[in-house]
């Protein structure tokens, strides 16, 4: 019977192969932004790799793999529709200018390799949760985790849809999106991701032995709030969006809350 080590190593190999292939594709097209599209897909690859090599309780394996697949494919398809055909993201353009001809090699470690490591760490609940054979059937914690996951997916999906509709209207060019879910949090899409991964952790926690995989959602939370999500976006958006400073004053930065009244 495959053990935990087999699952972890297999997932790591799958991630390494995927990110290496993505890096090789990025070189001739000179666009490292494709790594963002592959981010969600990578978790799908991890989930199915763990599913194929593990021998735990089937209901939980199917639940973890199915929920991860839905989340990951939705995210990758959305980003592909939004980003394909456009120029490389400004973050990677800055790195390319800084490293010049060395960017290709540098990006293997600092972009593709780093995201691969983060992907493997964040997905620990999905990997480890598929190993134990007990409980053999789903418990109330599994159902709670699935419900939390659904809230996150809906929040993220609706937020992305509302933003896409807002940007599609030429009259909104340069304006701040402060409608729908964006009225209650400046980043409903990132908040949705946050909730999704805590939901998946709850499902892993139902096994009783995967409690330590909490490192996964913790790392994802730090990324979304302090590193590559909210924090990075808001470094420059104030310069690009007149009125964003006022939006910050009246709208919660991450967790949804009623908007504050405009100061007089």
Q: Report pLDDT digits (tens) over 68-111.
A: 999 999 999 999 999 888 889 888 988 899 998 899 999 999 99
Report how far residue 264's alpha carbon sits from residue 247's, in angstroms, rounded to the nearest whole number. 14
Report how far residue 97's alpha carbon sits from residue 103's, in angstroms, rounded to the nearest whole number. 8
- The pair of structure tokens assigned to 76 is 């990758």
Report how far residue 156's alpha carbon sits from residue 6's, in angstroms, rounded to the nearest whole number. 33
Q: Backbone phi, then psi, for 255, in 5-degree steps?
A: -75, 130
Taking alpha carbons only, the member of 160, 147, 9 closest to residue 83 is: 160
- The pair of structure tokens assigned to 37 is 């599209």
Q: Which residues contact 141 (CB under 8 A, 6 or more apart)?
A: 202, 203, 205, 206
Q: Hey, what's the torsion of the CAs at 239, 231, 257, 79, to 10 degrees?
A: 90
Class of residue 55 by CB neighbours under 10 A (exposed 0-12, middle 13-18, buried 19+): middle
Q: What is the pTM of this model?
A: 0.93
Taking alpha carbons only, the member of 87, 79, 81 closest to residue 39 is: 79
Q: Are 83 and 38 in contact (CB under 8 A)?
A: no
Q: How many residues are listed for the chain in this entry?
A: 264
Q: What pLDDT is stored for residue 132 in this prediction?
A: 96
Q: Which parts of the chain register pLDDT below 70?
A: 1-2, 229, 235-241, 262-264
Q: What pLDDT is stored for residue 229 in this prediction?
A: 66
Q: What pLDDT is stored for residue 127 in this prediction?
A: 98
Q: Backbone phi, then psi, for 58, in 5-degree steps?
A: -60, -45
- The pair of structure tokens assigned to 27 is 């070189």
Report how far residue 23's alpha carbon sits from residue 44's, in angstroms, rounded to the nearest whole number. 18
Q: Are 38 and 24 in contact (CB under 8 A)?
A: no
Cβ-based neighbour number of residue 93 at 10 Å: 15
Report how far residue 69's alpha carbon sits from residue 73's, in angstroms, rounded to the nearest whole number. 6
Q: Backbone phi, then psi, for 176, in 5-degree steps?
A: -95, 130
- The pair of structure tokens assigned to 60 is 């939980």
Q: What pLDDT is stored for residue 35 in this prediction?
A: 96
Q: What pLDDT is stored for residue 53 in this prediction?
A: 97
């Amino acid at each position: 019977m495959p053990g935990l080590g087999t699952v972890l190593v297999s997932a790591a190999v799958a991630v390494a192969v995927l990110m290496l292939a993505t890096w090789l594709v990025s070189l001739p097209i000179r666009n490292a932004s494709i790594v963002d599209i592959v981010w969600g897909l990578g978790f799908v690859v991890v989930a199915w790799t763990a599913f194929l090599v593990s021998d735990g309780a089937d209901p939980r394996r199917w639940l973890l793999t199915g929920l991860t697949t839905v989340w990951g494919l939705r995210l990758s398809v959305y980003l592909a529709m939004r980003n394909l055909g456009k120029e490389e993201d400004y973050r990677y353009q800055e790195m390319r200018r800084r490293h010049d001809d060395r960017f290709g090699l540098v990006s293997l470690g600092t972009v593709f390799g780093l995201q691969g490591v983060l992907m493997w760490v964040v997905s620990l609940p999905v990997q480890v949760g598929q190993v134990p054979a007990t409980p053999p059937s789903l418990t109330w914690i599994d159902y709670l985790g699935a419900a939390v996951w659904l809230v996150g997916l809906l929040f993220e999906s609706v937020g992305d849809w509302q933003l896409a509709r807002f940007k599609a209207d030429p009259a909104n060019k340069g304006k701040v999106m402060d409608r729908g879910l964006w009225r209650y949090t400046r980043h409903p899409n990132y908040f949705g991701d946050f909730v999704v991964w805590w939901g998946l952790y709850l499902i892993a926690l139902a096994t009783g032995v995967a409690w330590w995989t909490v490192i996964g959602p913790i790392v994802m939370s730090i990324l979304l709030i302090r590193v590559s999500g909210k924090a990075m976006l808001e470094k420059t958006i104030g310069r690009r969006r007149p009125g964003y400073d006022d939006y910050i004053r009246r709208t919660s930065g991450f967790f949804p809350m009623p908007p504050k009244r405009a100061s007089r």
